[in-house]
Amino acid sequence: MAISTRQVKNKRDSNGVLTGRPGTVYDVNIKYTAPNGEKKTYSKKGFPTKKEATQHEAEMKAKLHNPGQIASIASQRKQTVASYLNEWVESYARVNLRPSTYDGYKRTIANYITPYIGGVALNQLTPAMVDKMFQQIIDKGLKPSTAAGAKRVLSVALSHARKYRYIETNAAKDTLTKFGKSDKTPRPVHAGTGKSPYAARRGYRLGNARYLRRALRYAPF
């Protein structure tokens, strides 16, 4: 069967966030013939619902029967965080966001994300790597709000990558480092101010350096 089921102790929801509850997940396995005649199997695991797994199966069967699409799928699996973010910020942020927000996203990616995790394969990025990125940002003497802004941009970009089926989960949402009382990811910071747009209007800064360093101390690096 192209779709199989298995039980997990900690199931993810449709947004890729761990629920803390056991449940059933669905795996897609499709056998196909590569352009060189070699027999291969495409696999993608962990869909939270059968509907999502079935939809992905149909999409991938159509692509895998097209030799041109097979090369595209292979290249996506080798895509790095940096190459994906550079493509995403131009195709999504530049078109859908205000110019000032687009510029802020580009600066955040270039200065606070790519230098730390840009060379990691997109589908190999883990929450521990993102936590380590936060620690490196703080160790450089930058404000917690800078790390919070990087988390916001990365989380939005990875949520889109997950919808495109480039990745299975959003690593930025499962980090041990948390910002804010409700564990919500803050808005991006304004370039040069170290404040979020929301915080800037109210005159306070996001995060607390002492709290952030304490949280990072227990991250599994």
Chosen domain end from 46, 77, 108: 77
Best CA proximity match to 169, nearest among 122, 201, 216: 122
Exposed e or buried b for every residue in 188-220, given b needs 16+ CB within 10 A? bbbeeebbbeebbeeeebbbeeeebeebbeebe
pLDDT at 101: 93
State whether 28 and 97 are in the same domain. Answer: no
Inform me whether the pLDDT recorded for 10 exceeds 70. Answer: yes
Distance CA 147, CA 142 (A): 8
**Distance separating alpha carbons of residues 59 and 125, to the nearest angstrom:** 24
CA quadruple 124, 129, 131, 134: dihedral sign:
negative
Among 22-26, 66-70, 185-189, which stretch is predicted with the lowest mean pLDDT? 185-189
Q: Which residue has the higher pLDDT, 60 or 192?
A: 60
Q: Does residue 28 surpass a pLDDT of 80?
A: yes
Cβ distance 137 to 150 under 8 Å?
A: yes
Q: Which residues pair with 43 in a beta bridge?
A: 29
Percent of the chain with pLDDT over 70: 73
Q: pLDDT at position 199, please?
A: 44
Q: Both 72 and 87 in a single domain?
A: no
Q: How many domains does the chain have?
A: 2
The pTM score is 0.55
Which region among 22-26, 48-52, 115-119 has the lowest average model confidence (pLDDT)?
48-52
Q: What is the mean pLDDT of the chain?
A: 78
Q: Give me the CATH number covering residue 135.
A: 1.10.150.130
Q: Are residues 103 and 137 in the same domain?
A: yes
Taking the CA atoms of 113, 114, 120 and 122 in sequence, report the sign of the dihedral they define: positive
Residue where a domain stops, chosen among 77, 92, 122: 77
CA distance 43 to 25: 14
Residue 43 CA to residue 152 CA, distance in Å, equals 30
> pLDDT confidence of 212, banded at 50, 70, 90?
low
Together in a domain, 22 and 88: no
> What is the C-alpha separation between 33 and 31, in angstroms, rounded?
7
Domain that residue 141 falls in: 81-217
Are residues 105 and 167 part of one domain? Answer: yes
When mean pLDDT is compared over 37-41, 183-187, 204-208, the highest value belongs to: 37-41
For residue 6, what are the β-bridge partners? 25
Q: How far is CA 36 from CA 33, 69, 117, 208, in A?
A: 8, 14, 34, 56
In this prediction, residue 213 has a pLDDT band, given cuts at 50, 70 and 90, of low
Which among 77, 101, 119 is the end of a domain? 77
The pLDDT tens digits for 73-127 are 555 556 899 999 999 999 898 889 899 999 999 999 999 999 999 999 898 898 9
- Residue 71: pLDDT over 60: no
CB contact at 8 A, 157 and 204: no
